[in-house]
Amino acid sequence: MAHYLDELNDIQRAAVTTTEGPVLVIAGPGSGKTRVLTYRIAHLLEKGVPPWEILALTFTNKAAKEMKERIEKVVGQRAQQVWAGTFHSVFARILRAEASKIGFPSSFSVYDTDDTMSVLRSIIKEKDLDPNAYNASVIRSRISLAKSNLISPLGYREKADMMEEDRAARRPFVVDIYQEYVSRLQRAGAMDFDDLLFQLYRLFRENPEGVVEKYQKRFKYLHVDEFQDTNFLQYAILRRLLKYEGSPENVFAVGDDAQSIYAFRGATIDNILDFEKDYPALKTFKLEQNYRSTHHIVQAANAVISHNRRQLQKTIWTDKTERSKIKLIKCVTDDEESRRVADLILEQKNRFHLPNSEFAILYRTNAQSRKFEEHLRRLNLDYRIYGGLSFYQRKEVKDFIAYLRLTVNPNDEEALRRIINYPTRGISDATVEKIGRSASANGITLWQAINDPRLDITERARKALFTFKSIIEDWQKRANAETAAKLAAEILRRSGLYELLKQDSTQEGLSRLQNVEAVLDAISEFTDQGDPNADLAPDDRSLGAYLQTVSLLTDADEQKGERDQITLMSVHAAKGLEYQSVFITGMEETLFPSFMSFEDPQGLDEERRLFYVAVTRAKRFLSISYAQNRYRFGQIRVCEPSRFLAEVGEDHYEMVGGSSGRLQQPALPQQPRAGISGNFSTGRRNPQPARPVVSGADAANFQAAAPDTIKAGDAVLHLKFGKGKVSSVEGPKDGKVATIRFEGDELPERRIVLKFAKLQVL
């Protein structure tokens, strides 16, 4: 049985067999990261460690599942008892078991992003705040940022920098929204994604009934996959589990700083850097040999990533001898791009006898998938799209799930609001509004307020509410007696949802009906087998358990199916995957890198890491394409090639085609670093002044003005460019561009998009 160790190289083996104490494995792309992680767990099991003492945390359900399967191949059945799951799902399970200790029902609801947004919108409306200044998605990310850094509403108030940022952005009441948001979720017995971490941390910190010791003792061996993508809060929880008197500190973290692509949601490389400080006994292993990709792909990846400043030193190498170059495809339009990608796939399929499943088309934004679909269909190539709207985010599915949620947890406000009058049953918005006001006035939940005799509503509405409440109550009573599957089927019919969906006989209507029925099937499957990943409470097959599992599933977790399909997905979704032939598309300034990342150099570095991830997905063939014109935001826009293309290095690619089909002179000068200017600059992109002009008191007092208040003739202050005078403002309402002359600037004038710029009127 020990022969599995022979499948490892020296460094891998050393890492795997270091079973005691803290271990960090820095693993370059294709260096056998998953293999090391799984073999290490297999090795523990072989040494006689009981499976339930082993915890492995990943970021996707898919990764967890794959890990278990691979462990099982080495050690057999026992693998199923290892705790392997995503941070969110493992923590949700612990919380389900311990919720009552921190004032939540064990069948708490999990609010997804949509639910969160809707709560925020209603708070903003109630507080009568300007919805332009208080954009729900901005507020959401502020709150998420706070939670990920363990900042409660009270803590937020004391955080001078965050409060200052809010003030500068003219939304000083964010903290009040945050506070109200937290209390509403508490009242509804609901947690959002961040709460699954935040509340678990709280549970461990407050430690009622010594709950933390229970888990510290239980998890003797901790494993973390994709360590570079953990945030402060996740690391804090890990530390809680590891730090106690006499702890062996058995933790095995695997990651690659160069593949950190989730900084935007709070992930920080600091965790890797702090790891050494927090655990002085740490042993570090570096896996640098790439077993995945051919020469030019590996070298191109190295060349690209060398443009990033902050990174751990390592050089990835391969001994693969095949030397086909990267294809660079220049296209006139986005339509041509997708056509040629589809054509090239067909050509490669025939020439190299590759199945569809060995092809992936990657893009920066999900919206880009549409064009590729068109052309793949034209060539009869079967494909599947990952990401975008997941199955569980579809309206009809969410509606159905909302009924189930309300049955399990009647205080779930979002579920209630969603379906109280859907299908319509004579309860108007005005009535719901009144219930809401009465609820907050009396400090009770919506559910409790529904049949409050004090409500000032018509007799008809009162009756409708009564009927509604009775139905739900009836289901609640039966929730314990009947199987989840049977109850769900009953709910689907009696709610009127089924009837409503059936009336629509269009193609889409039919598929909606099928989707809802698919949920029923999934519930049956769950009741029959339990959650395949269930590790804490494998016997919990209730509707509540199902709902908590389901809310954490994403599109990528769906079964791959039997069909041989080409994969279309965002670069983010491609992390951890590999294909014989990969197409990276839409390599244009403002798209990849995204214009959203332009504000600070860290954003650009993250985009570059993202590109690095994309490049290293390819085993044999890599093709990169860009278009000179692209349909975006409802109109055709002229695009410049991405700056990252110049960083690939001439030696590693060849141009293919041009619209004329003949080989063209590469229009890509090699320009490391400075490459931001030169041919690769967008016409609108301007060189930055050497030093920040604004500092000290000016910066401290800086207050950004609202975009629409700036007009020609204004004297303004910009944080980077200093003082200037606005000579003109033009463009549509939403995309106003100001031409400004800055004092002592190297350029005569700059054109600045007001929406993104931070300008103070002087």
Partner DNA sequence: GTTTCGCATCTTTTT
Partner DNA sequence: GATGCGAAAC
Active site residues: 33-34, 225-226, 259, 617
Q: Does 554 sit near DNA (CB under 7 A)?
A: yes
Q: Does 426 sit near DNA (CB under 7 A)?
A: yes
Asked if residues 381 and 356 have their Cβ atoms less than 8 Å apart, the reply is yes
The amino acid at residue 537 is A
**Residue selected from 4, 83, 87, 178 as contacting DNA according to rule CB under 7 A:** 87
Toward DNA, which CB reaches closer, 132 or 677?
132
Shortest Å distance, C-beta 148 to DNA: 9
Terminal alpha carbon distance of the chain: 75
Rounded to whole angstroms, how far apart are CA atoms 254 and 88? Answer: 18
Residue 694 is classified by DSSP as: -
155 three-state secondary structure: helix
Q: Which residues contact 424 (CB under 8 A, 6 or more apart)?
A: none
Toward DNA, which CB reaches closer, 607 or 745?
607
Toward DNA, which CB reaches closer, 113 or 659?
113
Shortest Å distance, C-beta 386 to DNA: 8
**Residue selected from 9, 17, 424, 701 as contacting DNA according to rule CB under 7 A:** 424
Phi-psi region of 294 (alpha: psi -120 to 50; beta: other; left: phi over 0): beta
Rounded to whole angstroms, how far apart are CA atoms 587 and 615? Answer: 12
Q: Which of 403, 623, 578 is nearest to 498 (CA)?
A: 403
Shortest Å distance, C-beta 403 to DNA: 17
Q: Does 483 sit near DNA (CB under 7 A)?
A: no
Shortest Å distance, C-beta 709 to DNA: 16
Q: Of 236-244, 505-513, 548-556, 692-700, which segment contacts DNA by CB under 7 A?
A: 548-556
Q: What is the largest CA-CA distance in the chain?
A: 81
Instruction: Count other C-beta atoms under 10 Å from residue 573's C-beta.
Output: 21
**Residue selected from 59, 219, 279, 447 as contacting DNA according to rule CB under 7 A:** 59
**Residue selected from 45, 67, 139, 427 as contacting DNA according to rule CB under 7 A:** 427
Q: Does 451 sit near DNA (CB under 7 A)?
A: no
Shortest Å distance, C-beta 435 to DNA: 12
Shortest Å distance, C-beta 231 to DNA: 9
Toward DNA, which CB reaches closer, 8 or 556?
556
Instruction: Count other C-beta atoms under 10 Å from residue 178's C-beta.
Output: 23
Asked if residues 249 and 220 have their Cβ atoms less than 8 Å apart, the reply is no
Residues 631-670 that bind DNA (CB under 7 A): 631, 633-634
Q: Of 280-288, 384-392, 613-621, 672-680, which segment contacts DNA by CB under 7 A?
A: 384-392
Which alpha helices (DSSP H) does 450-506 contain, by range?
A: 459-481, 484-494, 497-503
Q: Which residue has the tokens 């604004």?
A: 694
Q: Does 570 sit near DNA (CB under 7 A)?
A: yes
Q: Does 86 sit near DNA (CB under 7 A)?
A: yes
Toward DNA, which CB reaches closer, 86 or 616?
86
Instruction: Count other C-beta atoms under 10 Å from residue 73's C-beta.
Output: 12
Q: Of 297-305, 327-335, 629-637, 739-747, which segment contacts DNA by CB under 7 A?
A: 629-637
Rounded to whole angstroms, how far apart are CA atoms 617 and 577? Answer: 6
The amino acid at residue 471 is I
Toward DNA, which CB reaches closer, 294 or 570?
570
Q: Is 718 exposed, middle or buried (0-12, 13-18, 19+ CB in 10 A)?
A: buried
**Residue selected from 132, 315, 602, 695 as contacting DNA according to rule CB under 7 A:** 132
Instruction: Write each residue from 347 to 366 as x if it is in contact with DNA (CB under 7 A), else as -, in one continuous string.
Output: -----------------xxx
Toward DNA, which CB reaches closer, 330 or 364?
364
Q: Does 552 sit near DNA (CB under 7 A)?
A: yes
**Residue selected from 461, 729, 752, 759 as contacting DNA according to rule CB under 7 A:** 461
Q: Does 430 sit near DNA (CB under 7 A)?
A: yes
Toward DNA, which CB reaches closer, 88 or 630?
88
Rounded to whole angstroms, how far apart are CA atoms 8 and 409? Answer: 50
**Residue selected from 18, 80, 81, 135 as contacting DNA according to rule CB under 7 A:** 135
Shortest Å distance, C-beta 65 to DNA: 13
**Residue selected from 281, 379, 389, 510 as contacting DNA according to rule CB under 7 A:** 389
Shortest Å distance, C-beta 458 to DNA: 5
Helix H or strand E encompassing 741: strand 737-742
Q: Does 757 sit near DNA (CB under 7 A)?
A: no
Rounded to whole angstroms, how far apart are CA atoms 712 and 30? Answer: 55
Per the DSSP assignment, residues forming a β-bridge with 329 are 625, 656
Q: Of 314-322, 348-356, 565-573, 668-676, which segment contacts DNA by CB under 7 A?
A: 565-573
Q: Of 206-214, 268-276, 418-426, 739-747, which segment contacts DNA by CB under 7 A?
A: 418-426
Q: Does 199 sit near DNA (CB under 7 A)?
A: no
- The site for DNA, by CB under 7 A, has a size of 52
**Residue selected from 9, 17, 100, 137 as contacting DNA according to rule CB under 7 A:** 137
Helix H or strand E encompassing 383: strand 383-385
Rounded to whole angstroms, how far apart are CA atoms 541 and 523? Answer: 9
Toward DNA, which CB reaches closer, 247 or 503?
503
Residues 92-111 that bind DNA (CB under 7 A): none
Instruction: Count other C-beta atoms under 10 Å from residue 673's C-beta.
Output: 9
Residues 224-283 that bind DNA (CB under 7 A): 261-262, 264-265
At 579, give phi and psi (nearest 5°).
Answer: -145, 155
Rounded to whole angstroms, how far apart are CA atoms 589 and 682? Answer: 7
Shortest Å distance, C-beta 363 to DNA: 9
Rounded to whole angstroms, how far apart are CA atoms 542 and 110? Answer: 15
Kindly calculate the radius of gyration of the chain based on its CA atoms and give it in whole angstroms.
28
Residues 486-545 that bind DNA (CB under 7 A): none
Shortest Å distance, C-beta 737 to DNA: 14
Spell out the SS3 assignment of 245-306. Answer: CCCCCCEEEEECHHHCCCHHHCECCHHHHHHHHHCCCCEEEEECECCCCCHHHHHHHHHHHC
Shortest Å distance, C-beta 20 to DNA: 29
Asked if residues 624 and 328 have their Cβ atoms less than 8 Å apart, the reply is yes
Asked if residues 710 and 759 have their Cβ atoms less than 8 Å apart, the reply is yes
Helices 136-148 and 193-206, axial angle in degrees (round to 10) = 30
Q: Does 460 sit near DNA (CB under 7 A)?
A: yes
**Residue selected from 70, 425, 637, 750 as contacting DNA according to rule CB under 7 A:** 425
Q: Does 590 sit near DNA (CB under 7 A)?
A: no
Rounded to whole angstroms, how far apart are CA atoms 50 and 81? Answer: 9
Asked if residues 428 and 455 have their Cβ atoms less than 8 Å apart, the reply is no
Shortest Å distance, C-beta 298 to DNA: 24
Q: Where are the beta strands (DSSP E) in 47-135?
A: 54-58, 83-86, 109-111
Q: Does 401 sit near DNA (CB under 7 A)?
A: no
Q: Which residues bind DNA (CB under 7 A)?
A: 59-60, 86-89, 113, 121, 132, 135, 137, 193-194, 261-262, 264-265, 364-367, 370, 387, 389-390, 421, 424-428, 430-431, 457-458, 460-461, 552, 554, 556, 570, 572-573, 594, 596-597, 610, 631, 633-634, 733-734
